[in-house]
Amino acid sequence: METVNNYKLAPTFGDSFGTGWRVMFDNFLRLFLVVIIVGIITGPPTMFQFKMNGSDMPHGPWNWNGDMKGLFSLASLGVIAAFFGLLALLYAFLVVPVFNYGSKMIFVESVRQTKPNFEWLIKGFMSNYLSIVLANLLVFALVAIGLFALIIPGIIIACRLSFVKYIVMDKKVDPIEAVEMSWKLTRGHGWTIFFMGFVSFFIVIFGLILMIVGIFPALIWISSSFASLYQAVLLEKEKPAEPEAVAA
């Protein structure tokens, strides 16, 4: 177990959630603001939503009488839906990851007891942008393929690649190297990550039950706990091996 600035860091279930709890209270307002911003960014973008009433299109397919106007309206509706769907997809893969990855680094800085820098939320747009987008796309593809292959491989891959977001921002490596590093770092810690993710689901549910507002401390606690686990594993892997005792 390592002690960094009064935080006891060990790559275990209990220590990660315990340290995450302390990190949450030590940096609550800052991390609360981060969660709000990321929630707004990653939530369903209202800019891509459109409402339509049947009265807005008197010649719509629902009122089609066999004339060409109704057929044209049906085609137009399909084009509009496809356009907004494409915008939402581009937003999800080209904008959202930057804020997600940046927020992870803010939580890591909190664990390291470094004053969190809010610039991390947009820093990815100015540097390392391509690595963020490609890493996110690569992880998404690998997990999707794994889930398609009887689900369990997808869960394993998701657990083993859970550090990719931290590594891309912390180490500033390319997507392939980030995936390889995450796979190596999480070796031996897969079950810990899985159980933390499993328990996190119920923490979120409990937070929602507490008049919804409890979701904010729940998300902060979960993110702080995973950041604590990442830092603990990093210290464990980077710790130099102790020299063997030489027999007299």
Which range of 55-69, 78-92, 140-154 scores highest in mean pLDDT? It is: 140-154
Q: Which residue has the higher pLDDT, 213 or 166?
A: 166
Is the residue at 187 inside a domain? yes
CB 168 within 8 A of CB 128: yes
Whether residue 85 lies inside any domain: the answer is no
**Cβ neighbours of 149 (radius 10 Å):** 11
Q: Is residue 59 part of a domain?
A: no
In a domain, 54, yes or no: no
pLDDT at 152 over 90: yes
Q: What is the pLDDT of residue 53?
A: 52
81 domain-assigned: no
Q: Is residue 68 part of a domain?
A: no
Residue 137 sits at the vertex; the CA angle it makes with 208 and 43, to the nearest 5 degrees, is: 30
Specify the 3-state DSSP secondary structure of 46.
helix
232-241 confidence digits (pLDDT tens):
999 998 776 5
pLDDT band at 242 (very low <50, low <70, confident <90, very high): low
Which tokens sit at 100?
């997600």
How far, in Å, CA of 20 to CA of 110, rounded? 10
Q: Which residue has the higher pLDDT, 6 or 161?
A: 161
pLDDT at 212: 79
pLDDT at 241: 54
Q: Quick one: tokens of 38?
A: 């990321």
Q: What is the mean pLDDT of residues 84-103?
A: 92
pLDDT at 24 over 60: yes
- Rounded Cα distance, 221 and 245, in Å: 42
Cβ of 16: how many Cβ atoms within 10 Å?
27
Q: What angle do CA 97, 98, 99 make, to 5 degrees?
A: 90
Q: Indicate the number of domains in the chain.
A: 1
For residue 51, tell me if it sits in a domain. Answer: no
Report the pLDDT value the prediction gives residue 73, as an integer from 0 to 100: 59
Higher pLDDT among residues 67 and 166, named by residue: 166
Q: How confident is the model at residue 43 (pLDDT cuts 50, 70, 90)?
A: confident
Share of the chain above pLDDT 70, in %: 80
Residue 79 domain flag: no
Which pLDDT score is estimated for 248?
Answer: 40
Domain that holds residue 121: 2-45+97-237
